[in-house]
Structure 1
Amino acid sequence: MKSLKMVMVKLMTVFMLIEVITCQFGFGFGADGGLNMNYYLMSCPFVEPVVKNIVNRALDNDPTLAAALIRMHFHDCFIQGCDGSILLDSTKGNTAEKDSPANLSLRGYEVIDDIKDELERRCPGVVSCADILAMAATEAVFYAGGPVYNIPKGRKDGRRSKIEDTRNLPSPTFNASELIRQFGLHGFSAQEMVALSGAHTLGVARCSSFKNRLSQVDPALDSEFAKTLSRTCTSGDNAEQPFDATRNDFDNVYFNALLRRNGVLFSDQDLYTSPRTWNFVNAYAMNEALFFLDFQRAMVKMGLLDIKQGSNGEVRDNCRKIN
């Protein structure tokens, strides 16, 4: 039964990729400077195997990095577009995005550094940090058992990274309407927002992100699960609670947890509480293949947010600083 489900998921993946390639990106090699599936085919043909091997090696050592790499890609794209700005270090005269309170828990930078170092040895000055981050997130999804999908390449790296730009990141205290509005500013529908929220099938939340639900127990929260969250928080604000029972597996268990009122964050649970989004949660809880298909479509779309091309960006020699 499980093998049949995987076959169905892979078939839908193939159909989705055919649609994306033929309708949006064509079959060229990025000679016009635009994004393309085969952007590095001539200039750095081994880019994808390098990314895959280094990501897989890192995740073999620490499977929790899958969630971290996907989250880093999301935080990059939602601030200044998918331009690798989240990777830039702060300098004496500038506090960068990564040092914002909303980003202090991000990790996995060393994986991106390792990929960049290897690609600079093989094809110096060719592959952008923004593309590396996008590809690493794709590999992380697949490693954790999620859908196989490809993304167009050719993003350039941005030169701006400022702490004040991070105020536009969605908050764990947002309700569904606020999330719909926030994601809508980037061109996403309510259903696409719910599909992207499904990335919480991986990883954990810190107590500081959900303890506000416990002082006066959120009525949308299952009473027994509230006790579980309270026990987690006895270890302090940095104590971690998995989003679902399979924290390192990409599946639809997260959505089933919402049906049981076991959403860790208020922003998670309100997806099922809200009449604007509960039907999507229910559909994904009942049909993992549908979730996989919609998630990969939304991820490809997210990877195109406000990309830098031409003179608007660069290919960094070091992902942590501009050239």
Structure 2
Amino acid sequence: MELNSIPYIASWSSSSSCFYYSYSRCACRGTRDGKLVTKASAAGRKRAADSVCSQLSEQGTEDSISGPRSSWRIRRRDLASAILLPFLIPRVNISIAAEIYDASIIRSGVRSVLTKGKAAGVLRLVFHDAGTFEIGDGSGGMNGSIIYEVDRPENIGLNRSIKILRKAKEGIDNVQKVSWADLIAVAGAEAVALCGGPEIPVRLGRVDSSSADPSGKLPEETLDAASLKTLFSKKGFSAQELVVLSGAHTIGGKGFGSPVVFDNTYFKVLLDNRPPQTSSKAGNGMAAMVGLRTDWALTEDDECLRWIRIYAEDQARFFDDFRDTYIKLVDSGASWRTA
């Protein structure tokens, strides 16, 4: 879908005493005393106004040529114009129009560049941008700083996902400005939905950071379950939330089922192929080939294992909990625009 064809959707005032007409460049007939005339903020509304005004002007010209016989027709059309224009051209509350965030525009822009094969990389981008958050000092979080951090070892390969979203951002910015933080948060949610996962609503209005977040905030692939739980607790996440977020590995190239289907296969594979000696270092062949060290480490912790079993048996529960935890992830530590 071409972004140029996406209409700007404003928020209309519900007050009957507040009509703001957009007459574009057309000099329409009729009285506008006491009305505030503003220029349309979107091409679609300009074209609608121009079309209406052009038709009315042409009719007036035609009537004037026909002479006095049609003077009554002119007055009738003037009256019709005054009555109909408020309904033909929606009113805009200009005090907030400049601050409008239309999520559908961002989603459409993301969908124009996103495929199932690119979904896992985009979702990983979310985790690496938002995953730097820590409660103690309030640093990190979903702030778009990942665009300054792609050269770090833990972020290898994320430049491809940034390049994909940059293309979307250029098109979206032509319609309404979007921060990297909002764009990445929405893109991750779209990646999940595109692969068959839950629909995730994303609040908009995040402010981007102008510099990189501190390094060393993301979990290393060599951590055991106890270390993972400690690390995630510093970010405000429980053992349950650690497990449910890890379920995102169900897509991508880590070997948990189809790389383009978001489901609960991740948990089923962990259960069916759990290392027999309760040590992922001594795991069987499947454990050696599938996933990361941290994935199998979750099966060594009783609390984490309990949630793995729950999600392996109940995909709907996994979807519900993943949606809620994703929202918490992309909101934690974010800075928000103020009105």
- TM exceeding 0.5: yes
* Cα offsets for 1:231-278 (capped at 9, x unmatched): xxxxxxxxxxx3312111000001111012245212101212221210
- Secondary structure at 1:108's aligned position in 2? helix
Secondary structure class of the residue paired with 1:200:
helix
How many angstroms does 1:77 deviate by?
A: 0.8
User: Of the two, which has the highest radius of gyration?
Assistant: 2
**TM-score under structure 2 normalisation?**
0.61
- CA apart distance, 1:59: 3.2
Q: Which residue of 2 aligns with 1:84?
A: 144
Counterpart in 1 of 2:89?
none
Deviations 1:36-60 (A, max 9, x none): xxxxx94476743333333333334
Question: Does the aligned pair in 2 maintain the 1:102–1:166 contact within 8 Å?
Answer: no
Match of 1:255?
A: 267
Distance 1:294 1:150 in 2: 13
Match of 1:128 in 2: 179
Contact 1:77 1:305 in 2 (8 A): yes
Structure 1 Cα separation of the partners of residues 163 and 318 of structure 2:
30
Alignment of 1:187-202 (within 5 A): 187-202=236-251
Distance 1:119 1:58 in 2: 12
Q: How many residues align?
A: 221
Larger RCO (CA within 8 A; separation ≥ 6): 1
What is the CA–CA distance in structure 2 between the aligned matches of 1:84 and 1:304, rounded to whole Å? 12
Q: RMSD of the TM alignment (CA)? A: 2.1
**Do the aligned partners of 1:195 and 1:295 also contact (CA within 8 Å) in 2?**
yes
Is the Cα–Cα contact under 8 Å of residues 101 and 204 in structure 2 kept in the other structure? no
In the alignment, the residues of structure 2 paired with residue 168 and residue 144 of structure 1 have an alpha-carbon distance, to the nearest angstrom, of: 28
Q: CA deviation at 1:174?
A: 1.2
Kindly provide the CA deviation profile for residues 111-138 of structure 1, in whole angstroms up to 9, marking residues without a partner as x.
2212221122112xx3211101101111
Residue in 2 aligned with 1:295? 322
> CA contact under 8 A between 1:145 and 1:250: conserved in structure 2?
yes
Structure 1 position 273 matched with structure 2 position 273 = no
Match of residue 151, structure 2, among 90, 99, 102: 99
Q: Deviations over 1:271-310 (max 9, x none)?
A: 1222121000010001100100110110000011211235
Q: Judge which range, 43-52 or 262-271, deviates more.
A: 43-52
TM-score, structure 1 normalization: 0.64
Measured at CA, do residues 42 and 67 of structure 1 come closer, stay the same or move farther in structure 2, by a change above 3 Å? Answer: farther
The answer (yes or no) to whether the contact 2:103–2:204 under 8 Å persists in 1 is no
Report the CA distance between 1:192 and its aligned residue. Answer: 0.6
Partner Cα separation in structure 1 for residue 178 and residue 130 of structure 2: 18
Superimposed CA distance per residue, residues 215-237 of structure 1 (whole angstroms, 9 cap, x where no aligned partner): xxxxxxxxxxxxxxxxxxxxxxx
Structure 2 counterpart of 1:50: 105
Q: Aligned AA for 1:292? A: F
**Equivalent residue number for residue 181 of structure 1:** 230
- Given that 1:51 and 1:135 are in contact with CA atoms closer than 8 Å, whether structure 2 keeps it comes out as yes
Residues 156 and 274 from structure 1, CA distance in 2 versus in 1: closer, same or farther, beyond 3 angstroms?
Answer: same
Q: 1:284 aligns with which of 301, 311, 329?
A: 311
Q: What are the ranges of 5 or more consecutive residues in structure 2 without an aligned counterpart? A: 1-95, 133-139, 274-285
Residue 140 of structure 1 pairs with residue 188 of structure 2: no
Q: Secondary structure at the match of 1:309?
A: coil
